[in-house]
Structure 1
Amino acid sequence: MAKQTPDELFETQFLPHLDALYRAALSMTRNPQDADDLVQDTFLRAFQFIDKFQVGTNARAWLFRILTNLFINRYRRAKREPEKTSYDEMEDFFLYNRLQDAYVSGKSDTPEAAVLNKVQAEAIHEAIGNLPDEYRETVILADVNELSYLEISEILEVPIGTVRSRLSRGRRLVQRALWAFTEENPR
């Protein structure tokens, strides 16, 4: 029997297992798009390392091992990464702008009075406590402990620019949480 080219080997040994790999990926990810990506990455990895495949061994098992390893690595990476949130849609001064709107519409005397009347210390602590870890650490160090950007940068071992962006995003998330609190707890 003549030796197969990588393309022929891929077509004869690997492609027949496409449906089974997709079903397994779908049961692992519970999301059709993620399953498609996982299968695609599996086949890409298999093609990249086709020279490592020993003809005559179980191609299906080899592909499932690749699929499983890729899934495990993604799961581990996802657990290490902070929750992803789109901050592009977040408005600067969210809380202040909502309070200013209330002032303009005659619902409060001043924005500051509205804050003092509606926001309780417990709500602030809860809003900060519910922040993702990296934002919570930064907000607590800056706004509660009043540390400088440089000090926070050294404590967290991140660049000052990262401190600034985390603090900005964290404050915006706190503002949104406080606004939600004021909406849910009118006086």
Structure 2
Amino acid sequence: MSSSVANLIEQRSRFLSFVQRRVHDRNTAEDILQMAYLKAVSNADTLKVGRSADAWFFRILRNAVIDHYRHQAVETRTFEPWEPGIEPPSTTPDLTPANLCPCVAKALHKVPASYREILREVDLQEVSLENYAKRTGITHGNAAVRSHRAHRSLREKLMDHCGSCAQAGCLDCTCRPSATRQ
């Protein structure tokens, strides 16, 4: 196997040319080739005896080029600028206490105190998880777990209280609490 990998390294210029024809940028081609070499070395045990190491490595290179274009497409869509003068839509609802659905406020009182505390500080008062963790003397990871569990607990309380209205997010609450349902 190691002689196969050494043979692949000797053919570097051939492989670089192959990648560069597909990405049209030498630096990008170099990066892709290096990543492909890393993948080849770490997966050398998958090369079957008697099989062509070149064909195996070309498959790794083709997949690396495809991955490069996939990542590039995602970045382009993600970082695509908005047209000038158009404000991006707000994806976060206004969660100030005055705008909270009464059902959320009721459900919030039913979750354990430690969960209620993190929900109020992190979600309503927009304190960062890092600052919350420092203030309460817990690790950032512990704060993240507590936040996740608090959200799950609140969601369960809302589902018990509101039913299907909670599935819509309780942002435009029209539910009748389950206690008054017939």
TM-score, scaled to structure 1: 0.43
User: Whose helix fraction is larger, Structure 1's or Structure 2's?
Assistant: 1
TM-score, scaled to structure 2: 0.44
Q: Does 1 or 2 have the higher relative contact order (CA < 8 Å, sep 6+)? A: 1
